[in-house]
Amino acid sequence: MRLVLASRNYHKARELGAILAGWDVLPLETDADPPEETGSTFLENARLKARFGRDHVVRVDWVCGEDSGLVVDGLGGEPDIRSARFAGEDATDAENLDLLLARLDGIAGDGRRARYVCELVALGPDGREVSARGTLEGRIATEARGSEGFGYDPVFVPDGEKQTVAELGDAWKSESSHRARAARALADALSLPRGLK
C-alpha cells in the first residue's frame, strides 16, 4: 500500500514511513504550488493539504495531509501554526530559532514550557477521512545544541530528557516525536500494523 504525504518534505515522509510498517510513504511529487495554510488550527491546515494532495495522486492511493508546529507557553502559544514562518514567510530554520530564543530571553521556568503538536488527516480512495494527533511535551533550551533533526529540534528538550531532540538524534525522533505519535494514532485508527522498520 502507498500513502502519499501531501508535502515535499522528505524528512516528514521518512518519519511517517518509519512508523507505518508495510506502507510505502512517499512525498508528493507535483509542480503545483501547495495550498495556502489558511486554517486557524493544525487540523484545518492538515485537511487543506490532504485535499490538495488528493487532486494530485492516483486515486487508489491514500493521501495524508500533515501540519505541525511548536506551542510555547511563555509566548502565549506562539509560534503555533506559523512555526515554519515565525521569522517571516521565507524564514530559514536558523532565523526561526534565533527569533524564538530572542523572544524567550529573560523568561525562565514554566514560561519555557512547550509542546510539539502534529495533526494528520488521511483521505482514503473511498473518500473516508481519518485524523490523528500527536504531541510531545518539553521545554525550550537557552541555546541551540545538536546537529540532527530539523526545525526547532536543536532547542526542544523533551520531558524526561536532558538533551535536545537534535542531540537525541533521528533514531530517537523516529520513535518518540510528535509526528511518530500521530502516525501511531493514525495506524490504530486505520487498524494498520505499526512499528519501526
Q: How far is CA 92 from CA 38, 106, 152, in A?
A: 21, 24, 11
Cell of 64: 495524508
DSSP 3-state percent helix, strand, coil across the chain (nearest 5): 35, 25, 40
The catalytic residue positions are 67
Nearest of 125, 12, 127 to residue 61 by alpha carbon: 125
Residues 196, 139, 115, 150, CA torsion sign: negative
Question: Backbone dihedral region of 145: left (phi > 0), alpha (psi from -120 to 50 degrees) or beta?
Answer: beta
In angstroms, what is the C-alpha Rg of the chain? 16
> What CA dihedral angle connects 90, 9, 116 and 146, to 10 degrees?
-80
